[in-house]
Amino acid sequence: MFAGHIDEIGVMVTHVDEEGYLSFDTIGGWDHQVFVGQRVVLLGRSGQVTGVVGKKAIHLMEREERDKVSKVEDLWIDIGAISRAEAEARIRIGDPGVLAGGVIEFPNGRLVSRCIDNRIGAFVVLEALRQLAEDRPRAAVTAVATTREEIASTGGGARTSASHLQPDVAIVIDVTHATDYPGIEKRKHGDYRLGGGPAISRGASVSEIVFEMLVETAETEKIPYTIEAVSRDTHTDAEAIFNAHRGVATGLVSIPNRYMHSPNEMVAMEDLDRTARLLAAFARKLGPETSFVPE
């Protein structure tokens, strides 16, 4: 089972006031500073509703207010309504939304977009299956696009998928923090670079056998890679999968990603190709004789 989650962080409408302004809360882990001045797209009663995140203009702030960190309770969403009735004709409490943002191609093969975490992982899974369709493996390989990874402590779609499929082995494909920009302490956060290839995780939620097989495959295929140490939870779907039903031998392969959980995340296109090739080559190594039982 190859798994990439397709949910993204977002917002949820929590209140509509008399003037038609919307209060909101976060879905998933946000730096609240990112919201200021952004456009949002809400999933309303009859389709998408565009809004802007409002905040008091700096010209109207007292000196002490200017130094305060913005929080969601200080902000609101303006959809152009002039009354609660007008807003509620388009929006209900609990409607979700995302920050508006498109895809941009940068020089040097960089791709910039929101929700790279982790729809890019789902793309890589499908690319790996495309390669396997051209040169079929002995093993049966299933691609899974999971949801609720960003919010579900119980595992969301990853756990239900693993319980239903009962795979012998699963590889989670996600993103990890690139640390190749100013101000990052590599001794604390590791050294993961755009263009440096996939990061193969090693830790409590990862099968050591699967880890070694992934490393061996990368070296055989001459795919550059790094090793990421994860001494506790990986904060990915790996936790939901490795202990599903009778237990699943699980690996985690991550794509270096700059500016995670922002509207402008960035990855290197070459890392996507390398990760897909790694997954396909890994699948081709598997056969009836492959054992994931530690000895």
| Residues assigned a catalytic role | 149
**Torsion region of 183: left, alpha or beta (phi above 0 gives left; psi -120 to 50 gives alpha):** left
Read off the DSSP letter of residue 68. Answer: S
Q: Where are the alpha helices (DSSP H) in 101-237?
A: 116-134, 156-165, 186-189, 208-220
Structure tokens at 48: 């998408």
Q: Which two tokens stand for residue 183?
A: 């101000």
With CA atoms as reference, report the closest residue to 44 among 86, 103, 6.
86
Tokens 């946000």 — which residue? Answer: 30
- Measured distance CA(147)–CA(236) in Å, rounded: 11
Structure tokens at 115: 């929700």
- Say if residues 7 and 96 touch (Cβ distance below 8 Å): no
Phi, psi angles (nearest 5°) of residue 242? -65, -25
H or E element at residue 78: strand 76-78
Give the total residue count for the chain: 295
Cβ atoms of 48 and 40 closer than 8 Å: no
Query: What is the distance between the alpha carbons of residues 121 and 255, in angstroms, rounded to a whole number?
Result: 8
- Name 256's bridge partners: 176
